[in-house]
Amino acid sequence: MSLKPLLPGALSDRGQQMTLGVMGGGQLGRMFVQAAQAMGYFTAVLDPDPASPAGLISHFHIQTAYDDEQGLAQLMQRCDAITTEFENVPAPALVTLGAHRPVAPSAPCVAVAQDRIKEKAHFLACAPVSGVYPAPYAAIESDELLAAVPADLLPGILKTARMGYDGKGQMRVSTREELASAWEQLGRVPCVLEKMLPLQSECSVIVARGTNGQVVSFPVQANTHRDGILATTEVYEGAVPADLAERAQASTVAIANHLHYVGVLCVEYFVVDNGTGGQDLVVNEMAPRPHNSGHYTQNACDMSQFEAQVRTLAGLPLPQPRQHSPAIMVNLLGDLWFEPNATHAERSERAVTPPWTQVLALPGTHLHLYGKLSARPGRKMGHLNITAPTVAQVRETAAQVLQLLGLRT
């Protein structure tokens, strides 16, 4: 990747306005586009959906499949550098783009995140540096490997090696019989069996790594999930114990450095009982892009994760982000747009507007909706960032927000 900075507002070598591209037109792509445009760049989005949230606001929207040769050629013709908003972009497409334009993160980095087996091996390779290991696991790709699974990995969680997200492609198993049955139900595709650990909480770290190898880290985020989907993120002093936060940041930097990663990277961790009354940290998975848990940076930091994504892609300076306010992020799913007891038929006809007037009357509330044209239960429609001068105040306001929206605390 070229180390020559792509300066905002400048003309490229092709005599066109400096343009940054993104593979994928969802909400993460939309917020990248907004950050890039705010800094003076033109933007291009490749996404097959004519109503994609990012495509609706970008200068250029290339409506083709991610592996369409003509679409990729158009994206390269339009753009000076290209990123991705999700990890399941076809690897050959990123290889094609990377042969002609700077691409960050690179195809090899994304390939590691696409495959849990490769991802776990990468975490193991980095662990001696940081001392943070993944959960004990075994790869299952054949009947022989299934039969060889150590007994002490049960009970465990069987996860598909590819295409799993938000709790999908996962099954809990307690016995060898349940494991064999679960692998059949998952289609006998390559999987990873992870030992079930005494989980106490979850956290994540977002880092940005530049083309020159410089790495900056955002604060550690304490995350709460509901039904496998992130519900809230809390970021303030004490949200995660200081010793665990320090180890999580060191581990994430090691993971980024070992890959020679360029871009924004999120790594998720489990906090577990270490068996002696204390806590330990276990690395779970990584996302080669901005992350839901980092949305608070838009209103609580002097540089958001999306501006960091722009800076790493364009080769701009990368100062250490500073958090100026305690923050809580609330994920807004499509369920909020329907009465709690509505039938399926009523949900298709009777969408309602959440009580934004009451919510936005509370100090420090910042609403971010993604421009999706229809709500569905479980669909990510937006998020709400809450900031305040003190931890007590941000928690009090968040409790009021959750009550107004009818969400669990």
Q: What is the pTM of this model?
A: 0.94
- 180: Cβ–Cβ under 8 A, 6 or more apart, which residues? 146
H-run or E-run covering 327: strand 327-333
> How far, in Å, CA of 39 to CA of 276, rounded?
50
Residue 285 known to bind ligand: yes
For residue 362, how many C-alpha atoms fall within 13 Å in the half-sphere facing its CB? 25
Query: What band does 343 get if pLDDT is binned at 50, 70 and 90?
Result: low
Residue 286 known to bind ligand: no
Residue-range domain boundaries for the chain:
19-103, 136-195, 199-405
> How far, in Å, CA of 23 to CA of 61, rounded?
10
Query: What band does 1 get if pLDDT is binned at 50, 70 and 90?
Result: very low
State yes or no: pLDDT of 402 exceeds 90.
yes
Tell me, what DSSP letter sits at residue 200?
A: E
Q: 267 near 288, Cβ under 8 Å?
A: no
pLDDT (tens digit per residue) in 254-280: 999 999 999 999 999 999 998 888 899
Residue 165 known to bind ligand: yes
Return the structure tokens found at 72. 């990729």
Q: 129 near 252, Cβ under 8 Å?
A: no
Residue 358 known to bind ligand: no
Residue 268 known to bind ligand: no
Residue 195 known to bind ligand: yes
Beta strands in 161-235 (DSSP E): 170-173, 191-195, 199-209, 215-217, 221-226, 229-235
Kindly state the percentage of the chain with pLDDT values over 70.
Answer: 95
Give start and end residues of each alpha helix (H) in 259-389.
297-300, 305-314, 344-349, 356-360
Residue 322 known to bind ligand: no
pLDDT (tens digit per residue) in 345-388: 555 567 789 999 999 999 999 999 999 989 988 999 999 999 99
Residue 18 known to bind ligand: no
- Encode 11-20: b = buried (16+ Cβ within 10 Å), e = exposed: eeeeeeebbb
Nearest to 294 by CA among 22, 7, 27: 27
Q: Are strands 279-287 and 327-333 parallel, antiparallel or unpaired?
A: unpaired
Residue 278 known to bind ligand: no
Ordered DSSP codes for 140-160: E-SHHHHHT--GGG-SEEEEE
Query: What band does 227 get if pLDDT is binned at 50, 70 and 90?
Result: confident
State yes or no: pLDDT of 58 exceeds 90.
yes
Superfamily of domain 199-405: ATP-grasp fold, B domain (3.30.470.20)
Residue 41 known to bind ligand: no
Residue 202 known to bind ligand: yes
pLDDT (tens digit per residue) in 193-221: 999 999 999 999 999 999 999 999 999 99
Residue 137 known to bind ligand: no
- 30: Cβ–Cβ under 8 A, 6 or more apart, which residues? 53, 54, 56, 57, 370, 371
Give start and end residues of each alpha helix (H) in 356-390.
356-360
pLDDT (tens digit per residue) in 283-319: 999 999 999 999 999 999 999 999 999 999 999 999 9
Q: CA angle 100-103-105, nearest 5°?
A: 155
Superfamily of domain 136-195: ATP-grasp fold, A domain (3.30.1490.20)
Coil, helix or strand for 227? coil
Does domain 19-103 match CATH 3.40.50.720?
Answer: no
Residue 197 known to bind ligand: yes
Residue 171 known to bind ligand: no
State yes or no: pLDDT of 167 exceeds 60.
no
pLDDT at position 341:
66
Residue 49 known to bind ligand: no
> How far, in Å, CA of 44 to CA of 75, rounded?
7
